[in-house]
Every structure is written in C-alpha cells, then in structure tokens.
Amino acid sequence: MSNKKNSIGLNKDPNDTTVVVAMSGGVDSSTVAGIMKGQGYNVIGITLKLYDDTKQVSKSKQCCAGQDILDAKRVSDKLGIEHKILYYQNKFKSGVIDNFVESYLKGETPIPCVQCNQTVKFKDLFEESKNLNADALITGHYVKSVTTDNETNMYKAIDENRDQSYFLFNTTREQLNYLRFPLGGMLKNETRDIAKKLGLNVADKPDSQDICFVPNGDYSSVIKKYRPDAYQKGNIKDINGKVLGVHEGIINFTIGQRRGIKVSDKEPLYVIEIDAEKNEIIVGAKEHLSQKEIKLKNLNLLCEPRELKEEILVKVRSTGKMIKANIDYKKDTASIKLLEDEYGISPGQACVFYSKNKIGYKVLGGGWITK
C-alpha cells in the first residue's frame, strides 16, 4: 500500500485501485472513464438500461437510451476497459416513473432526475459497485467533492452553467464518501477537448436535455400512457373563486405557467395554484406568484446542524439563482424564510441549501417543497 494518496484521495497505487464509472454513453461519463484509465486505475464501466425505448429515435437528446448504451460500449472497447450493462427497467419504473406520474396527479412539479440519483443510480449502482469490490464509484456529474479529515463534502462545480449540485442534494453521507466527481473542477469545453484527445466518438455528442423517459419533452403523454384516466375536465378559477373557464386536465399545468390557460383577461394570467382534490386550476396576476416563505419535508442534511443557524443560501429550482434565507428546521421538516421575493415556487420541486467558504459553495443539504 502506498503512503501517498492517489488522485481520488485513497492511499493506494492506481493500479491496485478498482473504480466503477457510471457510463451513460455521453461525453462526460465517457471522458471520466478515459481519465481514470489514463491514470492507471482498474476501470469497470457500468451502463444502466432504465426504460424501454424501442420506439424512440436514436438522435434523441436523452440519456440512457438505446443509442447511448451502444456508445458506452464503443467507448469502453476503445479504452480497453470492462463494460457491464445492468437492466434496471423495473426498478426505474417503480422508483422514478411511478413517482413522476403520481406527483403530477397531485398537482406537483416533480424532478425525476433527483429521484433517479437517489434511488437507482446511487442506491442500486452503489450496492453493485460494492459487490464488485470497487474502491470508489465515479460519475460524470459537474459537482466538486472535497475530502478533509476523512469526510467528503459536496461543492458547486466551477462551471456555473453545468453545475448539477441541485440534483444531488439527496446524496447520503455514506454515498458521498464513496463517490468521486472528477469533472467538478473543469469547464465543459475542457471535457470535450480531453474526449477528442482520447479519440472518443462521443466527443461532439450533444448533451442530453430531455427527461430520459419523456419523448420530445411531452410529459403529459407519459402520464396518459400510465394513467389514461388522468385527463379530467375541471374549473379554472380566479383567486376569488370566480369560474373563468374549463381545463382539460391538471396534468397540463404547472405553477407559474402562462401558456395554455385559454382564458382572456385584461392582464396576463398565470397558474397560481393547482388544487388536485377539487381538480381546479387557480389563476391570477404574476404578483400572486410572489413568495417569501417555503415549507419543506423529507430533509437530507450534509452538514452539522450549527451550520444552519446562520444565514444560508438556497435554490428553489435548478436554473434559479441563489437567494439568501434563514431556516427553522425540525428533524425532517423545515420552514424557509427568503430575504427577497421569489416567483413560481412549486410543490414537488427541491429547495437546496448552500453556504460559501474559501473553497466555494458547499452543499448543506435540502428538502422537498410542500407549499
């Protein structure tokens, strides 16, 4: 055993270290596999088949599709590493798709990518990596992991446009100590440059943009497929309870939405609330979307409780800005008081906590928005 830490922070020579790389078939995870192989590690690439996509086109901008599995296999052959495919369709449906459908039917706006990371990708792939006696699980996510005193903390990636920390807030401490994220300190163009130097056929492959099991971004078609009874007409009301029109199903709407309401008024109308029990859509002016207090459930903390006693930063959507806030939390729930107004906060989304230090923006944890 070496006394010097290797590039992933372990006291082992790379050639005595086995790592599993989660390979989606995209440029990021493929580059990570190439980096690990180039540094001398024993690399096992694992690709997950998560859903049946026989009717999908190969040019889809989705991850984990049929073409992506072929690309991951080609990259593995090019790099000379072992490659495995795990067939997790049933686990993915029960852990992600079913939750996605039920969440929309409750009037929420779910984030299936968080659910996927929380269940299939990290939970099941974590266990598979352990079964293979791997020393670490490596992914192509754009987040930084910093290990000090045998404890690993997660930080925002240096590439602001690619940072994925919002989607990983539910990572457990045990998982975080086992995971490594080599791309957290890189810019996206640097990743592509490395892929080109390695001669990988995915170097110029477009990034996945859609939810993987939602063809062309049409989520309502997915819901209709699994719950054909979901399209039920109901009333569209204003904030005072006056009926303004009729909708074709609450699954067609999310909080803050303006298009598709099909009700005319002297000023633009937005979806303010979705009442799933009454099957009603409440609409109003944009000012009614303003909110300064958020309620959370199912907290996951990656910090000491004392770190939440001071002012923190929060994000309430993946593409949103960080907002200063104070948190009052109990074991599994929390109340967040924002120090400035935010618009269009939706149940089903996540509120992720951060603090800034000399290293960067540290992820403190987060929870699911209930109201």
Catalytic residues: 116, 212
**Local structure of residue 56 (DSSP, 8 states):** S
C-beta separation of 181 from 144 below 8 A: yes
C-beta separation of 32 from 21 below 8 A: yes
Token readout for 214 is: 């939602």
CA atoms 10, 14, 17, 22: torsion sign: positive
**Number of Cβ atoms within 10 Å of the Cβ of 314:** 24
d(CA 191, CA 202): 11
7, 103, 292, 305, 361 from 145: Cα distances, Å: 12, 31, 31, 20, 11
C-beta separation of 303 from 364 below 8 A: yes
d(CA 183, CA 116): 20
Q: Give helix then strand counts, H and E, for the chain.
A: 9, 17
Residues 6+ away with beta carbon under 8 Å from 58 = 65, 66, 67
Give the bridge partners for 85, in sequence order.
47
d(CA 360, CA 355): 8
